[in-house]
Chain A
Amino acid sequence: MQKEASVREELFEKLKAVVGEENISRDEAVLRVYSYDVSPYKGQPEIVVRPSNASEISEIVKLANEYRIPVVPRGAGSGAAGGAVPVSGGIVVELTRMNRILEIDIKNLQVVVEPGVVHANLNRELAKYGFFFPVDPGSSEMATIGGLISNGGSGMRSVKYGVTRDYVMELEVVLPSGKIVTMGSKAPKSASGYDLVRLFVGAEGTLGIVTKARLKILPLPKSRALVLSAFDDLEKAGKAVVNTFSAGLVPSGIEILDRTAIEAVKKYNPEIDIPLVEALLLFEVDGTPRGVKEEVETIKEVCEKSGAVKIDVATSKERFDQLWSARAMVGAATTALNPDCVRVYEAEDVTVPISNVPRMLLKIREIGEKYGMNIVTFGHIGSGNLHPALVINVLDESEWDKLWKISEEIQTSAIELGGTTTGEHGVGIARAKYMEREHGEALEVMRTIKRALDPNNIMNPGKMAL
């Protein structure tokens, strides 16, 4: 959306008056830094602004409406769907200056934060009170709460603790009209009205900009333990997970590394001591020390019965941290496997019903073999969420062709197995083309909502097939 030079100049001056000279830029090199997130999709904005409060954002959005120019909210740009990438140009609204924790209300189990608060910072602060915000993305040190809410994120502990959606009580949002609206409730539960909070969780900036969030928090568990179970067969590992749930247990997390991922971890850091088998399951349990002990025993029993070839319980903090960090690093570590290759975040978030996870893993392996690519796969098996890592030489065009084909096959398989293309990273541009298939008629309902709230289509256009 290229505006005439003089009109653009006028808009720039008006925006400058709103945020101040030091918080606006149209320097060519700076704009480039806002042209990407973690995904392979790119798009350059015309202007970047860094507001410090909701009323500035309201002014920005009103100007955008007046000048019919796209507005793209951006947190840390750690999203993997291209959500924060300004594919239609326009104004990027960077929210990292709004990084204050406004209220920690322990007696009501809630906190109020600005959208730019980094997830890990919130949990560091809450830990001082013995509390935590249980959603735990692997990108904790980068991701902002606004980004997490807008992408409907979650993490390794979603089996027991659920996803971001379950923790947002109240939101302050600047609507596409520029109006500042608060939705939701401070009460622990509310049956009043449409659940607008849930509509805005996962809206990816297409319906407005989140400027404040009231989140539920929980006391930190007193104890945690990790059970590492090795299997010589993927199906058996899948069964062990199902059997764990059937035994009445809800571990805080269940992660899986398949052979490719174990190899990647070992190559990246040979000091990490894990067996090289077809599948490794990592069960995390938490609670009271006694409860944890009992649950560890039950998981051991279940895994033995399900055919585990080796079981190891990590109780020391050192081992616990080593194993979790191995799991957190595995995706990125794939880049280190071959000096000419880089991991491209594509088809990286498929999610299927838990019982179909082994089939999905086999399918991914099959697709990899078909195209001659060693796809490293790992993920949150307890919530059916897998993160296949595709690794290519990015300077070679033909490798990109292959990557797009593999991506399509993996994502289509996930849908065919009753799943979705995204469990926690969001749709953005990356998965827009699957929206129709995943949602059918419901996509039209989404489009109707979008048109009603944003008739000029200024809020993050080009995303989610809206």
Chain B
Amino acid sequence: MMETIFREVARCSFCGFCEHSCPTLKRSIRHYGPRGRVQTILFALKYDILTEKSIEAIYTCLVCNACSIHCPGKIRIASVVREFRKALRDGKIKKGDKILEEVM
């Protein structure tokens, strides 16, 4: 599962097309948008960067899917967030893990 998540987020081209549709971004805190969440997941998997704030960013997502339809890379943003949450809950992702090494 982690590999699927990683491959999906690694496809982000940073274009930002997803951003304007996100209701949580309207609160004008950048990392709470879809691009920020996709990157946050990538940072967790690739560089083991996982903090209280990044977990908060993941959990404030409404998984409403308003963003995904705008993604030219067809990244399933809301699904990835959901799967990432599940991985967090199941203890599959913890700070200190070398997740990417296990994934690749």
Contacts and interface: CB of A to CB of B under 8 A. Distances in A.
Bind each other: yes
Interface of A: 25, 27-30, 32-34, 36-39, 50, 76-78, 94, 96-97, 99, 116, 118, 120, 139, 141-142, 268, 329, 332-336, 339, 342-345, 394-395
Contacts of A342: 10-13, 73
B1 interface: no
A333 B13 CA distance: 11
Is the interface on chain B under 10, 10 to 19, 20 to 34, or 35 or more residues?
Answer: 20 to 34
Contacts of B11: 335, 339, 342, 394
Given A29-B51, A30-B54, A33-B40, A335 B13 contact: yes
Given A29-B51, A394-B10, A395-B10, 4 more contacts: A142-B20, A334-B72, A336-B74, A342-B10
A34 B19 CA distance: 15
Nearest to B19: A142
B30 A332 contact: no
A27 B54 CA distance: 9
A193 B73 CA distance: 49
Nearest to B104: A395
A29 B54 contact: yes
B49 A28 contact: yes
A448 B15 CA distance: 34
A438 to B, nearest CB: 26
A29 B49 contact: yes
A332 B74 contact: no
A332 B13 contact: yes
A94 to B, nearest CB: 6
B35 to A, nearest CB: 8
Given A33-B30, A99-B28, A142 B16 contact: yes
A28 B52 CA distance: 10
A336 B39 CA distance: 19
Contacts of B15: 38, 332, 335, 343, 345
Nearest to B58: A29
Contact of A76 (B16, B43, B51): B16
B25 to A, nearest CB: 9
Contacts of B19: 76, 141-142
Contacts of A33: 30-31, 36, 39-40, 57
Contact of A34 (B30, B53, B54): B30
A88 B63 CA distance: 35
Contacts of A27: 51-54
Contacts of A394: 10-11
Nearest to B12: A342
Contacts of A34: 30-31
Contacts of A116: 28
